[in-house]
């Protein structure tokens, strides 16, 4: 692959390749920021001159649709440009830094029901907007949903329309048609596999995605009823409510007429109070009549199944104040503002969070007896009950500190932050974290993170309205550094914080979160680069054959050696981002002769 495209874009690395083409990460050298972007090379299935003009026309039309979609939703990547070069077609799109849902589940396990509900509510708003444009996505799956680091919103990527245009051929009647089916086996329903997608095809794919999140099972690992064709999955969904399973069953019904007729109908089934919240996207009252968009088969509408009424009735009849609070706050959070990743049962007073898909041993804590007054109930409290050691450490985006007798004011500040879109806003009780000052203070925070990089990413935008804000590392380990990092320290710099030579696991956490940049590697010694690269493996317990490396990591308190180098390579524990970063760093070292351990 050439290093430059269109005399403008410098290719940094290949992100993926397949039958339709390749995807690259690149820098736009004609922008002052040298912003990074994703470039998709699309290859027509035929180079026939007769077909090329048709492909070109379809490509331009579908690119215009992508531009419109990205401009109308901040959960769809923007289209920056498109061009042709050497008889090939290229799209230039916004680079979304984050983790796909596949990577999240692979690293952190199944997702609890409340978090899945939150994801669905956000994504259904996007799908409703897309369907309002008479477009069917056709490839909704965990790989095509990214939790964006900047604001923790789920972003829907990789629409199938342009790929379909690359499959244009002329049929036996002389008419242009597509020779390929868009979609992923297991995630697309039967009518889509037959080349006849409808709106509810996307809802089916979203339902299968939900099953993957709730169970950790890929579609190929699930059986189907030989008589009805329905997916058999409930036995794997431990801890999932019957109401939630009914909603998913409705979405993944074999026949389109048995599914939800629209994204709005599925939204209503999920919450029942969706209509009380300002929608994130304004959907036109009538669908556009333009035939230039993706053709879809009109779908027969139907009355909701009785089990939806049962579900909504159960929400009302239950009268659970905590559950109502969760739903209301979730819906508020998804209307226009940043949102903030998983296993476990949460209590009604907890606010579900996407920030980190919290692993099984770090459930949202309960208030400690000494930190809550008898007269008020905070919205979110991060003060662990009984000082449980399971609640080890987190990064918090600190906003305001309140003394112990000003808890009510702290709660008002939390509510204000939540109305501004920071649904993860809460408070922590300083004495519960021994590495902090120990003063009797409540610290109100806008976000809670498992790594430093994610906290600082949100700090970049949050600090513009709250310039005194900072990220702080709160730990049960009294010897740990608070690691405060103020907004003013990054005001005039877009570079990531420089890690120290005495690396710790938290120093290099960003290597699991985003792709490494040259500025992350600049001015580092060969030893620092070797430690940086191998920390990717060390976090999973890999042992090292090089004595110097093994000695170094043995001195790190977080390191727990488990696997020999030979066994580790067979386990496939690394995420795609981690694999790419390890490869990039070693290439950088070789290119610049910066290898320490040879």
- Residues with a catalytic annotation lie at 139
Residue listed under structure tokens 């509810």? 200
Angle at 515 between CA 512 and CA 517, to 5 degrees: 125
DSSP-H helix ranges across 404-476: 407-419, 452-462
Question: How far, in Å, CA of 409 to CA of 65, rounded?
Answer: 47
Q: Look at the alpha carbons of 241, 242, 246, 248 in this order and tell me if their dihedral is positive or negative.
A: positive
**Coil, helix or strand at residue 104:** helix
CB atoms near residue 189 (< 10 Å): 26
What angle, rounded to 10 degrees, do the helices at 321-333 and 407-419 form?
50
Strand partners, 503: none
In whole angstroms, give the CA distance from residue 50 to residue 55. Answer: 10
CA 250, CA 253: separation in Å to the nearest integer?
5
DSSP assignment string, 107-160: HH----HHHHHHHHHHHHHHHHHHHHTT------SGGGEEEETTT--EEE---S
| Residue of 496, 123, 494 whose CA lies nearest to 339 | 123
Question: What is the C-alpha to C-alpha distance for residues 362 and 476, in angstroms, rounded to an integer?
Answer: 13
Distance CA(534)–CA(434), nearest Å, equals 30
Contact 513, 454 (CB under 8 A): yes
Give the full edge-to-edge strand order of the sheet including 145-148: 98-100, 145-148, 154-156
Strands of the 4-5 sheet, one edge to the other: 4-5, 9-18, 21-28, 36-42, 88-94, 79-85
CA quadruple 135, 18, 586, 6: dihedral, nearest 10 = -70
Q: Which residues contact 89 (CB under 8 A, 6 or more apart)?
A: 41, 42, 43, 44, 55, 56, 59, 82, 166
Distance between CA 124 and CA 127 in Å, rounded? 5
Contact 419, 362 (CB under 8 A): no
Q: Quickly count: other Cβ atoms within 10 Å of residue 239's Cβ.
A: 11
User: What is the DSSP code string of 289-322?
Assistant: --TTS---------PPPHHHHHHHHHHHHH--HH
CA–CA distance, 101 with 81 (Å, rounded to integer): 27
Cα(342)–Cα(356) distance, rounded to whole angstroms?
8
């Amino acid at each position: 692959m050439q290093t430059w495209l269109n005399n403008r874009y410098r290719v940094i690395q290949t992100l993926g390749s397949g039958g339709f083409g390749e995807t690259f990460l690149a820098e736009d050298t004609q922008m002052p920021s040298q912003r990074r972007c994703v470039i998709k090379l699309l290859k027509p299935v035929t180079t026939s001159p007769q077909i090329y003009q048709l492909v070109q026309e379809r490509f331009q039309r579908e690119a215009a649709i992508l531009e419109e979609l990205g401009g109308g939703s901040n959960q769809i990547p923007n289209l920056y440009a498109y061009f042709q070069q050497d008889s090939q077609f290229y799209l230039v799109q916004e680079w979304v830094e984050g983790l796909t849902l596949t990577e999240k589940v692979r690293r952190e396990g199944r997702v609890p029901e409340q978090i899945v509900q939150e994801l669905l509510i956000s994504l259904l708003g996007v799908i409703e907007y897309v369907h309002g444009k008479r477009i069917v996505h056709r490839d909704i799956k965990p790989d095509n949903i990214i939790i964006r680091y900047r604001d923790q919103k789920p972003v829907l990527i990789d629409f199938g329309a342009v790929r379909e245009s690359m499959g244009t051929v002329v049929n036996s009647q002389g008419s242009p048609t597509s020779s390929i089916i868009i979609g992923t086996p297991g995630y697309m329903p039967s009518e889509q596999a037959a080349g006849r997608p409808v709106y509810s095809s996307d809802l089916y794919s979203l339902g299968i995605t939900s099953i993957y999140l709730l169970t950790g099972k890929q579609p190929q690992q699930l059986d189907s009823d030989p008589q009805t064709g329905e997916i058999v999955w409930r036995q794997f969904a431990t801890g999932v409510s019957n109401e939630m399973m009914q909603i998913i069953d409705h979405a993944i019904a074999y026949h389109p007429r048995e599914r939800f007729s629209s994204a709005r109908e599925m939204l209503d089934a999920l919450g029942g109070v969706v209509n009380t919240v300002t929608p994130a996207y304004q959907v036109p009252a009538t669908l556009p009549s333009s035939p230039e968009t993706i053709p879809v088969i009109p779908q027969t509408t139907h009355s909701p199944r009785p089990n939806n009424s049962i579900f909504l009735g159960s929400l009302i009849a239950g009268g659970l104040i905590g559950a109502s609070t969760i739903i209301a706050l979730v819906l508020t959070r998804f209307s226009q503002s940043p949102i903030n990743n998983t296993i476990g049962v949460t209590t009604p007073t907890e606010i579900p969070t996407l920030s980190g898909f919290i692993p099984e041993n770090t459930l949202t804590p309960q208030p400690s007896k000494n930190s809550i007054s008898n007269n008020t109930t905070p919205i979110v409290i991060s003060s662990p009950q009984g000082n449980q050691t399971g609640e080890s450490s987190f990064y918090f985006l600190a906003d305001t500190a309140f003394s112990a007798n000003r808890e009510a004011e702290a709660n008002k500040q939390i509510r204000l932050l939540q109305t501004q879109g920071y649904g993860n806003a809460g408070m922590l009780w300083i004495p519960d974290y021994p590495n902090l000052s120990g003063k009797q203070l409540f610290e109100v925070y806008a976000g809670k993170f498992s790594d430093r990089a994610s906290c600082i990413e949100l700090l970049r935008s949050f600090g513009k309205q709250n310039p005194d804000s900072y990220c702080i590392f709160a730990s049960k380990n009294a010897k740990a550094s608070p690691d405060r990092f103020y907004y003013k320290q990054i005001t005039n710099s877009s570079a990531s914080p420089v890690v120290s030579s005495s690396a710790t696991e938290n120093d290099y956490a960003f290597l699991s979160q985003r792709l490494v940049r040259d500025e992350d590697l600049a001015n580092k010694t060969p030893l620092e680069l070797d430690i940086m690269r191998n920390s990717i493996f060390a976090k999973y317990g890999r042992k090292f054959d090089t004595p110097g490396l093994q000695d170094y990591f043995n001195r790190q308190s977080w390191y727990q050696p488990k696997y020999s180098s030979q066994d580790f390579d067979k386990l496939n524990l690394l995420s795609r981002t981690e694999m790419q970063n390890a490869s990039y760093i070693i290439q950088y070292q070789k290119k610049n002769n910066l290898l320490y351990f040879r």
